[in-house]
Amino acid sequence: MHSIALQWNFDDGRNGWGQSTPLEMGVELEAGDGRLRGVVLTSGDPMLAFVDSPKLHVYLGADERDYLVFRMKYLGQCDLAMVSLERNPSAPATWPGDDPRVMNDPIQIPFKLHTNTLEQDDLYFIPIWKHVTGVIRRVRFHPCVSRTRTTGQSFSIDWVAFTKAPVVTKVRGCIDKYFDNQHLQAGSDGDTDAHLNCTEIERWTNGFHHSSATTCSPMLLPSASTYNCVREGGELLSISGKHFGTSDAVVTIDEVECLDVVHTVPEEELQCRLPAASTQWLTNPAYPSIIRVHNGQLLQLFDEVPLLSYAAPVNAPSPPVISNVATHAIDVNWKAPDNVWESMTVTGYRVAWKRCVDANFSLDNTVVVGNVTSTTLIGLESSTSYQLYQMPYSA
């Protein structure tokens, strides 16, 4: 589950890299001061120059997001390099052991060299998960594959690593939904596919007035999202997955940093405080929000998922039903939202009334009740027509 699966540095020499002769590689190679240094030989073809790793057995899983990452300084007039990955042969007899220049069934991934006028190290991230899965037997680095021949090329590699980008599977902390499918897609019908583990506690007052409360518990399903998060922020979020690193992870929600990030389980679980919704979001709310998790050691490795939503307005309810009309009082009854996920967000209702001859509703004739579906309005005038409405709200 480690985000850095295999790493080489060159504090103790080449560490198995560049075992072929300089003439075979077309590169003069040496190790010193913790770096692997190479110069492309002028007698060879720069497009054929290479440096090989030692023989490997690195497995790239289909459910991982593997990268080859290296820290390198390049000097020369070239803009394109390449990495070749040698896959496991289908039969042992096909392993080309006699000629080290020949690779078995290679995957070739060109990449642009960074223009660095300060001659400083640069990090290169090669997304090998987009190109290959299965067992990798060898890595080959081609310092230059540009069509124009150049001379005087040199490079210096600080370290090389097989790494895994973060994968976020669960975000919890507000009202949580759980899913059977580990790979949720943006725009999927979360209400249809989601599960919850909640118990409703019902109460009836005088055998008629209904109220309820709900308690929820976590589930062991592979994926989870959370919604109805307070727009002002402050709620404690739990983020689960893999390859988060062991410290210093960065979490953002719609590009706003989550606060007080803690690695509660190294590589696998984070906690942080939900930030307040951004001004841009408040101007144009979008559901769901995008939560992004950056690896603590390699911030360029991240995953972003639509697994969190700030609170959204509740849909307009059906008209209320009037009953028990008395001289100075009436009972008002209404129906809770049919959608269970929407009803979970409702924490109370606002009921307002006015005489039909009045132009507007007023706060004086407004009452806020809890999560109930009926209430009694008292102190009304006799022989008077009234207009009223009820509106759900969440807090």
- Helices and strands per DSSP (H, E), number in the chain: 4, 29
Burial of 41 (0-12, 13-18, 19+ CB in 10 A): middle
**Residues spanned by CATH 2.60.40.10 within the chain?**
167-310, 321-394
If you search the block for the tokens 């596919």, which residue do you land on? 193
What is 167-310's CATH topology? Immunoglobulin-like (2.60.40)
| b/e code 248-269 from CB counts within 10 Å (16+ = b) | ebbbbbbebebeebebeeebeb
Specify the pTM: 0.82
What is 321-394's CATH topology? Immunoglobulin-like (2.60.40)
d(CA 12, CA 3): 24
**Residues spanned by CATH 2.60.120.260 within the chain?**
4-164
Q: What is the structure's pLDDT at 186?
A: 46
Enumerate residue ranges in the chain where pLDDT < 70.
1, 43-47, 90-98, 116-121, 147-152, 182-192, 206-213, 395
The DSSP call for residue 10 is B
d(CA 89, CA 288): 45
d(CA 83, CA 141): 5
Q: What is the structure's pLDDT at 370?
A: 85
Class of domain 4-164: mainly beta
Which token pair is 359? 């132009």
